[in-house]
Structure 1
Amino acid sequence: MPAELIVAVIILGAVILFSLEIFSIDITALIIMCALMVTGVLTVEEAVSGFSNPATLTVLAMLIISAGIQNTGLINYLGQQSVGTGIKNEIVVMAMTMFLAGTLSAFLNNTAVVAIFLPMTLKIAHHKNINANKLLMALSFGAMLGGSCTVIGSSTNLLVSAISEEHGLGAIKMFELAPVGGILFIVMTIFLVIGIRKTIPERKSEKGDLTGIYRLDNYLAEMIIPENSPFVGKNIEQTRLLQDHDLEILRIIRRENIIYLPENIELLEAGDSLIVKAKARKIIAMGKIPGIEIRTDLAINDEKLITEDVVLVEVIIGPNSLLIKKKINDIDFRKKYKAIPLAVRGKRGVAVEQLDQIALSEGFALLLEIEKDAISELHAGDDFIVLHELPQIKLEKRKAIIATTIVITVILAASLNLTSILVSAWLGCVAMFITRVIRIQYAYSKVSWKIFFLLAGLIPLGTALEKSGTGDLVATFITEHLATYGPAAILSSLFLVTTLLSGFVTNNAVAVLLAPIAITISHQLQIDAKPFLLAVIFGANTSFLTPIGYQTNTLIYGAGQYKFVDFLRTGGLMTLLVWILITVLLPLFYF
């Protein structure tokens, strides 16, 4: 089979796997790498070259530096300061959110920035009585746009820079993206907060509480065990209520005591009040069982569920969570987190029934009933981003000053061409380790290894495109059909294809595929390749169109109660304007 056909089949398979999310993106990337080796398209050395690629190593170094800054408490401190401002104007607060997220994301990992700011943004929205959906979208879009202003702003930027350097075009300089990226950031911020913010819907529960938001009203009930009940003296398992009625007992109220998360061996006593979760028809059916009384005069809401020791908490599955792809049934929430999952909000909306069979994904929102003293453990781990409850992270001033100095030094060293970004970034990492800003063990636990393996597995695909000639065939097809319209039209089309693909396939994969093609197109047109590479960068970084195309969108999706159409509507308008701006700005700066 011709190499071109093999590579085309591998690319098609990759697009399908990335789009359907059959495997996590890092595993899909490693499958691609292995496929290129097994088919003989690449040698073993070429296939594993992604692990030593400057882009992969630079991204790893910047992830460590981001973890170091995060460890000082500086980002949390900045967010908490913004909570305390007296400004309540919606437009101003949205603009401030975009500015802060964008500024930090220009130099730090934007996914980490959004993850940290998520609960703070919700708290700001609550205290200032502002639509949380608008602030969350401003947070995500601001982080994406900010990451487009410097070469270290996103892994995609570093990836395309490395591809440019490999082709003898030189690496993209630290602030080379800033002129176009800065204009995009300013214009798109104004456009979102003034022009189209009303296209972002506001969704609130009629009751305004979490039980209402997650539609638990018809699934919760209070069940009384009267004195003459045959269930008195039996343990929960012996009653067969759980097995026969698909019932979950959240707590037992016994006189002045509350038994939270009762074990199946717990004996029932006369007068016990059981707070239970079940389907509405099951609750009605239980009311007909002799020895059980269902209270119909009392609605179960947040106030009824929250006690001195137990609270309701909304959490988001984080980007580094070990629970991704696991079914709830396989996770012992009671033992591991001292919690019970009551409801899940995912891509298909809110689910209250048959939770056990739901496979968790990044960005899914869960409503947990949890012991109050266990919340700190949720904050400390990487499985969840806890909403509404802010972590008590103290600002370590000495570490914050040292870390900030290191970051500034890394940026200046690369900007002034004293050394490469790769070298300056790793010198920054070593400096953070030596000064104890971050311990290497902590760095191991906090780095998103998913991104590292994603890049390492994807980079060989770009090599295969060129080695097989597949990239040349695609570039020739594009130039033959669009050359008559001029370079600006090809540039505009390249951006559009990149941003549309990035809405459904991980943007790093799109960049790996299209950056070599962009270079070949520029060679065939005999013009500078830089604007074509920037079109790929900006297209991959401005994936506003869907909640699945960019990690920051995925993170806010569950927390904001969004629907897919919300991103199509608001993100579609954002994409349209960015497309127009890129079509004008890149030729203006480079042609």
Structure 2
Amino acid sequence: MTPQLGMVLALLCGAVAMFALGRPRTDVVALLMIAALPLTGVISVPESLAGFADPNIVLIAMLFVIGEGLLRTGVAQRLGDLLVARAGGNEARLIVLLMVIVAGVGSVMSSTGVVAIFVPIVLRIARNTGVAAGRLMMPLSVAALISGMMTLVATAPNLVIHAELVREGFEGFRFFSFTPFGVPLLAIAIVYMLVVRRWLGGARSQPRPSGQRAGLGQWIDEYTLAGRGYRFRVRPGSAAVGKVFDTLAAAAIPGLNLLAIERQRRFAKDLLPPGTLIEAGDVLFFDLWKPGADLEGLSHRLALERLPLAGAYFSEHAQHIGMAEVLLPPGSSLIGKTVVEARLRAHHDVSVIGLKHGRTAEQGDILDEPLKAGDTLLVVGLWQAIRRLRSDMDLIIFNLPAEFDEVSPAASRAPFALLSLALVVVLMVSGLLPNVQAALIGCLLMGLSGCVDLRSAYRAIHWPSLVLIVGMLPFSLALQRTGGVDLAAQALMDIVGSAGPRTVLAVIFAVTAALGMFISNTATAVLMAPVALAIAQQLQASPYPFAMTVALAASAAFVTPVSSPVNTLVVGPGDYGFMDFVRIGLPLVLLVGLASIALVPVILPF
């Protein structure tokens, strides 16, 4: 082993260790590697940064934008409604249709994005039908992971492996090269989930009598918000006039949230965000966490007049002010912070008025409660502020009240979103244009038709995922130049000895799947793709079955909740523990592995 190879391997081990520990964030680890690899002298700084110009990186970014267009236009929500209509209350039929639809949508979108879209749909289905959410969330995550085995653009590892083939001088995979493997593996997964669903447990949800999404009134009951609202009119000469309420925090009561400002115009009354400068005559609408507070003292200090609050306040103002349940995804910068430290009102003009660590709303004061991945926050604010949350990568809106349908204008753009998506798929399948150009055209059509705007398009892109891929790509080049790839390939060949190619595929699948338990499947693909191609070269065999095996194994991240963000997103809504994934996921990995080793040589001969 040369000193340069030793340095590259030391950096790689350090990156894997940080990925496994989850500290620092994966994108930060990637940036550290971009900065450190040129110091070894193996690659140059331009080569370390070359990933930012990789067409596949641009393609992945464009796919995030297309997914945002499908979300903003309500296409995914309509699929959920169709699912309920077709499946009714039959749990087995629900699981089958859910997994088929998720895998289909995931074949043209990021699997993480698919789960982010379908978590609210599945929760709504569970509430409407009475099926336990835990029986549906695991099938959701499994189908989303298997969707990565459906098409070339379904998941980042496929594109990484395709790019490695092209760099080695081969043709690369086509759009539907993965489909002959994904369809039978999906069928196996569906049958498996139907058998093991009894072990997913979970109490049955109480069905909503109307079959509709929760309304604002239902959330008020669920989060015990009744009796916490107050209205005060600002009198002339008040110390609050001309100021933002946050600047009066020292004089206000801890736990008192300003939710909106009512202002009487000449012909109508407006509701304004809490960051608006206060004027005389404004009516301040508050939420109070701690009962028994000195509201009389507050009104005296700030010259406020207390007004009555009707019980149907939210319903009466539903065209202006609303609520949303948002989920904290893995990697969110809000994890570990308290509700106060998250400063959602300062950044987004929404206030947190409820919190769920699992499935039950926390009672009492939650302002100083540390936030965890998978937590659910109930936020309140004006509808335009709630819509803007959709493009925040730190939060995922997973449930909107029934009242939102009446104020959401994006649903009318759904046909344009579907046409744009269909055009992208046709262009990719036909090969008339490069994939990245086809995706860019689709994004532009989404923007021209009003499905997305520039702000939401930029914010829809999950930049940490892109930085992770860019940061890991230089390792492939560095390991090739230092002989690390050949060394790893020879080590695997020594393990299998004189065994046949199928045994080699089985070892490659096992090693890739094992790595995927601790690091991201994208990083796994970056590391294992050149090793697989080197083994194919040593065996003087076709590279395609070896590359496909790596791709399938990289998507088989079923075993732990940290194997993939897809799994982490369903932990909270499904009320799962670590061992739930192990006992359900490990047998499924073995099944998928056996099926893959049987299928790959038949469809892609050696």
Alpha-carbon distance, 1:578 to partner: 0.5
Q: 2:81 maps to what in 1?
A: 80
Q: How does 1:163-562 map to 2 (within 5 A)?
A: 163-192=164-193, 194-203=194-203, 260-261=287-288, 267=294, 315-318=326-329, 321-324=332-335, 326-328=337-339, 330-332=341-343, 337-340=350-353, 342=355, 344-345=357-358, 356=368, 358=370, 360-361=372-373, 364-366=374-376, 368=378, 371=380, 373=381, 377-378=385-386, 380-381=388-389, 382=392, 383-387=394-398, 389-390=400-401, 392=405, 393=408, 396-397=411-412, 399-562=413-576
Alpha-carbon distance, 1:27 to partner: 1.3
Separation in structure 2 between the aligned mates of residue 120 and residue 402 of structure 1, nearest angstrom:
22
Matched position secondary structure for 1:179: helix
Q: Map Cα deviations across residues 512-557 of structure 1 (whole Å, 9 max, x no partner).
A: 0000000001001110111111111111112011111112111111
Contact 1:73 1:395 in 2 (8 A): yes
Separation in structure 1 between the aligned mates of residue 182 and residue 452 of structure 2, nearest angstrom:
31
Alpha-carbon distance, 1:485 to partner: 1.8
Contact 1:103 1:146 in 2 (8 A): yes
Matched position secondary structure for 2:357: strand
* Letter aligned with residue 8 of structure 2: V
Separation in structure 1 between the aligned mates of residue 179 and residue 593 of structure 2, nearest angstrom:
17
Q: 1:14 maps to what in 2?
A: 15
Q: 2:134 maps to what in 1?
A: 133
**Residues 1:61 and 1:51: Cα distance change in structure 2 (over 3 Å):** same
Q: 1:89 maps to what in 2?
A: 90
Contact 2:447 2:453 in 1 (8 A): yes
**Residues 1:322 and 1:27: Cα distance change in structure 2 (over 3 Å):** same
Contact 2:558 2:581 in 1 (8 A): yes
Q: Map Cα deviations across residues 382-406 of structure 1 (whole Å, 9 max, x no partner).
A: 3433455445345644x43333233
**Residues 1:130 and 1:269: Cα distance change in structure 2 (over 3 Å):** same
Contact 1:73 1:394 in 2 (8 A): no
* Letter aligned with residue 365 of structure 1: D
* Letter aligned with residue 198 of structure 1: R
Contact 1:261 1:334 in 2 (8 A): no
Separation in structure 2 between the aligned mates of residue 540 and residue 551 of structure 1, nearest angstrom:
13
Matched position secondary structure for 1:339: strand
**Residues 1:64 and 1:386: Cα distance change in structure 2 (over 3 Å):** closer
**Residues 1:269 and 1:357: Cα distance change in structure 2 (over 3 Å):** closer
Contact 2:95 2:139 in 1 (8 A): yes
**Residues 1:340 and 1:404: Cα distance change in structure 2 (over 3 Å):** closer
**Residues 1:354 and 1:88: Cα distance change in structure 2 (over 3 Å):** closer
Gap regions ≥5 residues in structure 2? 209-221, 228-253, 259-284, 298-310, 316-321
Alpha-carbon distance, 1:340 to partner: 4.3
* Letter aligned with residue 544 of structure 1: F
Contact 2:132 2:204 in 1 (8 A): no
* Letter aligned with residue 352 of structure 2: A
Q: Map Cα deviations across residues 188-240 of structure 1 (whole Å, 9 max, x no partner).
A: 11221x2222121215799x9xxxxxxxx9xx9x9xxxxxxxxxxxxxxxxxx
Separation in structure 2 between the aligned mates of residue 405 and residue 550 of structure 1, nearest angstrom:
31
**Residues 1:65 and 1:467: Cα distance change in structure 2 (over 3 Å):** same
Matched position secondary structure for 1:496: helix
Contact 1:313 1:386 in 2 (8 A): yes
Alpha-carbon distance, 1:324 to partner: 4.5
Contact 2:134 2:201 in 1 (8 A): yes
Q: Map Cα deviations across residues 349-404 of structure 1 (whole Å, 9 max, x no partner).
A: x999998473644xx21354x55x5687445403433455445345644x433332
Q: 1:582 maps to what in 2?
A: 596
Gap regions ≥5 residues in structure 1? 209-216, 223-246, 252-257, 271-305
**Residues 1:342 and 1:429: Cα distance change in structure 2 (over 3 Å):** closer
**Residues 1:354 and 1:75: Cα distance change in structure 2 (over 3 Å):** closer
Q: Map Cα deviations across residues 104-132 of structure 1 (whole Å, 9 max, x no partner).
A: 00012222222122112111112211121
Does residue 2 in structure 1 map to residue 16 in structure 2?
no
Contact 1:55 1:161 in 2 (8 A): no
Query: Kindly, what percent of the aligned residue pairs are identical?
Result: 28
Contact 1:199 1:569 in 2 (8 A): no
Separation in structure 1 between the aligned mates of residue 331 and residue 514 of structure 2, nearest angstrom:
26
